[in-house]
Chains A and B, each alone.
Chain A
Amino acid sequence: NAGVTQTPKFRILKIGQSMTLQCTQDMNHNYMYWYRQDPGMGLKLIYYSVGAGITDKGEVPNGYNVSRSTTEDFPLRLELAAPSQTSVYFCASSYGDSLYGYTFGSGTRLTVV
Chain B
Amino acid sequence: KQEVTQIPAALSVPEGENLVLNCSFTDSAIYNLQWFRQDPGKGLTSLLLIQSSQREQTSGRLNASLDKSSGRSTLYIAASQPGDSATYLCAVPGGATNKLIFGTGTLLAVQP
Cβ contacts under 8 Å, A58 to chain B? 97, 99
Total contacting residues, chain A, CB less than 8 A = 25
Interface residue count on the B side (C-beta < 8 Å): 26
Q: How far is the CB of B37 from chain A (nearest CB, A)?
A: 11
Residues of A at the B interface (CB closer than 8 Å) are 6, 33, 35, 40-43, 45, 48, 56, 58-59, 90, 92, 97-99, 101-107, 109
Chain B residues packing against A (C-beta within 8 Å): 4, 31-32, 34, 36, 41-46, 49, 51, 89, 91, 93, 95, 97-105
13 CB contacts below 8 A, A to B, read A33-B100, A35-B102, A40-B104, A41-B104, A43-B91, A45-B95, A48-B97, A92-B44, A92-B100, A99-B51, A101-B49, A102-B100, A104-B43
